[in-house]
A and B are shown apart, each in its own frame.
Chain A
Amino acid sequence: MATKRKKATHTGQRRSLRLDIWFMRHLQVSLSSLGRLSRNPVSTLMTAAVIGIALSLPIGLHLLLNNAQQLSGNWDGAASISLFLTKETGQESATKLAARLRLQDEIEHVQLISREEALEEFRTLSGFSSVLDSLEGNPLPNVLIIEPGEKHSSPEAAEQLLGELEKIREVEFAQLDLQWVRRFQGITQIAKRAVWVLGTLLGIAVLLIVGNTIRLEIQNRHAEIEITKLIGGTNTFIRRPFLYSGFWYGLFGGIIAWLLVTLSLILLDSPVEKLAGLYGSQFGLSGVDLTTFALLLGGSSLLGLCGSWIAVGRHLSEIEPT
C-alpha cells in the first residue's frame, strides 16, 4: 500500500518534471528565437513595420466606423415615429394612450406633445406668431413621439411597428422618417463590409510577408537544419524556433499597428473635437479599447504563427540530409 502510494507520487513527480522540461524548452526556444531576431534589429523592425502598417489600415477603419456609429447613436429618435392624433382626441385620452403605449415591449419611450405646447413651440420657432394669433383656435393636433426599443429600431421593425400604431383608433396619421436611417445604415453596412474585405486582404498580405521572411530564414539556416535532421531532430523540434519567429513578428507587427492607430487618433482628435464643438456636441474620438487591443495582438500573433507554419511546412521537408 505504502509502496503503491510512493510509486504514484513518483510518477506524478516525473510527469510534472517532464512538463517542466517541456515548458522550459519552449521558453528557451522562444527566447532564443527572440534573441536571434534582436541580433538583426533593423531587418526585424522593418518586417514588423510592414506588418504593422498592413494591420493598422483595417484596425483604423474599424475604429473610425465604431466612432461614427457611436456618433449616430447620439442622435436619439433616429427612427422615432410621430403619431398625430385625431382632433377629437382630447388631452386626457392622449395621456391615457401614451400610458398604454409605454407598456408595450417594442416601445422604449413615449413623449406627449400637447397641442398647446406644440402651438407655443411653433409660435416661438417659426416666426409666424402674428399669423397664428389671427387664427381662431388651435389647428395643431396632439402628437405622440414614439421611440422604439433598441431591438426594434431597425428600419424593418420600425416599419412594422408603424403599421401597428396606424391602426389605433385615436391615431389620425403616423409618420416614420426612415429614409436617412436607411441610407446611413446602408453606408455603414458597406463600410463594414469594406473593412472586412480590406482586413482579409491585408491579413493574407501579412501571412505572405511572414511566410517569405521565414522562408529566407530557413534558407539561411539550411546547414543547421540539415545537421539537426542528421542527428535525429524531429520535424517538430526543427519547426519550433521558426514558428516562434513568426509569432514574434506577428506580435511586434500588432504592437506597431496599435501605435500607429493610436497616434493617428491623437492627431485627429483635436480637429474632430473642434468640429463637434461647432455642432454643439461633446463628441470625442474613442481610442483602442482593451478588447480591441487584445484581439489585435492575439490576431496578429496568430497570423504570424500561421504564416511561418505555411512556410515551414513547404520548405522544411525540402531539406533532407545526404
Chain B
Amino acid sequence: MIHFDNVTKRYPGGHEGLKNASFHIEPGEMVFLTGHSGAGKSTLLKLIGLLERSTRGQVRVASRNLTRLKRRETPYHRREVGMIFQDHRLLYDRTVFDNVAIPLVVSGVGHLETGRRVRAALDKVGLLNKEKAYPITLSGGEQQRVGIARAVVSKPPVVLADEPTGNLDPTLSREIMQLFDQFNSVGVTLLIATHDLALISRMNKRILTLQNSRLIRDIAPEETIGGN
C-alpha cells in the first residue's frame, strides 16, 4: 500500500528530514512510527500526504507514484489519505457536524448521504450527541476524536496520524488506540507516529523506528514485547 524506495527529503537550507528510507507497508497493516522528536516522523508522514515532495527516491501510495504526480492531482490523492494531527486542525467557527462533513462536501457527496455518513462517523468515535457543539467547547480528547471522525468519514484506504495522543492522558490515549484498532480490523491501512513507547508496546503491531532522519529499525509484530 505504501512503498518508500530510498527516499530522501532535503529542506531548503540543507537540513535533511529523511535519509534513504526504504520500507513497504501492506494493505490492511497497522504500523507505528516512532523516534525522538525531530527524528523525521512528521517528514515521513508529510511525504505520504503530499504535504512535501521527496528530493530523491520514490514514494508510492496504492498504485500512485507520488514523485510523478501532477500538482493538480494532489487533492484527489489527499482524499484517499485521511490525516490526523496532534493539534487537531479543526475549524473553530463551525460545528462538529460541519467539521466532519468537510471531506464529503469537498468531494461532492449529496446532502442526505453526507448527513448519514457524518453521523455514522461521529457515532463510531462516540460523539453523536455533540454534532451541534462547537469544537472549542469540547475537551482535548473529544476534539481529537472529531479530527479522527473527519479523517475516516470518507472511508479512505489509508489513515495517517501524527502524535494523535500527544496531549492526552493514558486512559484517553488507550481509547484512541482502540479506535484505530477498530478501523484496522475493517481493512484500513494505518500509519501512526508516536513517541509513546509504553503505549505501542502493548499493541502488538509492527514498529518502524527513526533516528536522526534514518530508518534504523523495523520490528515485526511477533518481535514486539506484546507479541511474546
Contacts and interface: CB of A to CB of B under 8 A. Distances in A.
Interface of A: 21, 24-25, 223-224, 227-235, 237, 320-322
A25 B90 CA distance: 23
Contact of B72 (A223, A229, A235): A235
A177 B66 CA distance: 80
Nearest to B49: A230
Interchain residue pairs A-B with the least CB separation, the first 5: A232-B79, A232-B78, A233-B106, A234-B75, A232-B75
A322 B83 CA distance: 12
Nearest to B110: A21
Nearest to A226: B89
Given A230-B83, A231-B78, 12 more contacts: A21-B110, A24-B111, A223-B91, A227-B91, A227-B102, A229-B75, A230-B78, A231-B103, A232-B77, A233-B75, A233-B102, A320-B51
A21 B108 contact: yes
A232 B108 contact: no
19 contacts: A21-B108, A21-B110, A227-B91, A229-B75, A229-B78, A230-B49, A230-B51, A231-B79, A231-B102, A231-B106, A232-B75, A232-B77, A232-B79, A232-B103, A233-B102, A234-B76, A235-B75, A320-B51, A322-B51
A39 to B, nearest CB: 11
**Which of A227, A230, A231, A234 is most buried by chain B, counting CB atoms within 10 A of its CB?**
A231
Contacts, number: 50
A231 B108 contact: no
B102 A234 contact: no
B65 interface: no
B167 interface: no
B20 interface: no
A51 to B, nearest CB: 27
A25 B106 CA distance: 10
Contacts of A228: 102, 106
B89 A232 contact: no
Given A223-B91, A231-B150, A25 B103 contact: no
Given A223-B91, A227-B102, A321 B51 contact: yes
Interface string B96-110: 000000110011101
Contacts of B83: 230-231
B143 to A, nearest CB: 14
